[in-house]
Amino acid sequence: MAIPVARHNLRVTELLDPVLDWYDANARDLPWRSASATPWSVMVSEFMLQQTPVSRVLPVHEAWLERWPTPADLAAEPTGEAVRAWGRLGYPRRALRLHAAAAAIVADHGGEVPDSYDDLIALPGVGDYTAAAIATFAYGKRHVVLDTNVRRVFARTLSGVEFPSQSVNKAERELAANVLPHDEPTAATWSVAVMELGALICTAAKPSCSRCPVADLCAWRAAGHPAYDGPPRKVQTWAGTDRQCRGRLLAVLRDADSPVHRTRLDAVWPDETQRDRALASLLKDALVVKTGPETYALP
DNA sequence: CATTCGTGGCT
DNA sequence: TAGCCAAGAAT
């Protein structure tokens, strides 16, 4: 293990300057990266960006911060307003968790987004990635930030394979820790720069190696771009799933300004058994409330 | 460790 | 066209 680590350290020494220079010249001007962005703005962006492309997050993030400039502003409103404002970003439970996190921040942290990883990861909807990202991007702390982009860039440049394993393992985490620059500000810039490289150049489907600042250092490229040979990557189905049904039902309630009769929900999904199951799960998740014998609404 | 949980753009 | 993919978390 000592030899690979030493080799990786050597390689990141070579990667560091080209990646930082590339980021300096090519970084997107995103609102949560602006000098005036608050920790709350960063936190909102991280929730919205979980499994959701930047282009779709941008307008919702802007409206969200205008309406709720602080955690206290959001916490003061009903959870259903968060679900409504979430719009069609997908995974609406994230809206509930963001609301719950805002309430916890008001209750336990004086209304200020905490700056420590331990306090952050204790918040609803905040896992390892999001805690590290908020601590790093909002407060400039030094943490291993492992998202899908970073994992793919390291898999290719350092490990010489097209895609990382399905879940983060210990060796991968140690590798990322070993290539993290030592001082805080450089570590933070390194993390966002590697992430940006993965998002813009070292993409999953069609990497633009010709525009990559570290193409000549990339282990995967040096090996001749060997095809992925791991276990088949999961492809989630959509048509006909409970998730599609839940989405249809919730969209009806989101677009209504008053409680909706059951018959309007019946109209958007033909299969009664599945529809009932989906509605029950939405009620269980507290994304929907029953307001009368046959009426439903956002909470 | 494997599943579940939205949505829309792109190839 | 039918996948494939996008700054994951909770269970």
Query: Amino acid letter at A213?
Result: P
Kindly state the helix (H) or strand (E) to which residue A291 belongs, with its residue range.
strand A289-292
Q: Is the CB of A182 under 7 A from strand B?
A: no
What token pair was written down for A95?
């809206």
Q: Is the CB of A162 under 7 A from strand C?
A: no
What token pair was written down for A63?
């409206």
Quickly give A227 CA vs C2 C1' distance in Å.
22
Quickly give A138 CA vs B3 C1' distance in Å.
32
Q: Which residues of A are catalytic?
A: 46
Q: Is the CB of A250 under 7 A from strand B?
A: yes
Give the burial string for A262-295 (b: 16+ CB within 10 Å, else e). Answer: eeebeeebeeeebbeebbebbeeeebbbeeeeee
SS3 state of residue A110: coil
Query: How far apart (Å, rounded) are the C-alpha atoms in residues A161 and A127?
Result: 26
Q: Is the CB of A127 under 7 A from strand C?
A: yes
Q: Do the Cβ atoms of A212 and A218 come closer than 8 Å?
A: yes
| Ramachandran sector of residue A51 (left: φ over 0; alpha: ψ -120 to 50; beta: rest) | left
What token pair was written down for A286?
């507290």
Q: State pLDDT tens for residues A77-104.
A: 999 999 999 999 999 999 999 999 999 9
Q: State pLDDT tens for residues A235-260.
A: 888 889 999 999 999 999 999 999 99
The model's confidence at residue A3, banded by pLDDT at 50, 70 and 90, is very low
Quickly give A207 CA vs B7 C1' distance in Å.
24
Q: Is the CB of A31 under 7 A from strand C?
A: no
Q: Do the Cβ atoms of A120 and A134 come closer than 8 Å?
A: yes
Q: Is the CB of A243 under 7 A from strand B?
A: yes
CATH class belonging to A242-297 = mainly alpha
Instruction: Give the pLDDT score at A206.
Output: 93
Q: What is the DSSP string of A68-105?
A: -SSHHHHHTS-HHHHHHHHTTSS-THHHHHHHHHHHHH
List the A289-292 sheet strands across, edge first. A260-261, A295-297, A289-292
Strand partners, A290: A296
As ranges, strand C nucleotides with an atom below 7 A of a protein CB are 3-10
A137-160: average pLDDT:
97
Query: Whose C1' is closest to the CA of A250: which nucleotide?
Result: B6
**Every domain of chain A and the residues it spans:** 242-297
Quickly give A2 CA vs C9 C1' distance in Å.
33
The model's confidence at residue A2, banded by pLDDT at 50, 70 and 90, is very low
Query: How far apart (Å, rounded) are the C-alpha atoms in residues A99 and A252?
Result: 21
As ranges, strand B nucleotides with an atom below 7 A of a protein CB are 1-9, 11
Q: Is the CB of A165 under 7 A from strand B?
A: no
Q: State pLDDT tens for residues A187-204.
A: 999 999 999 999 999 999
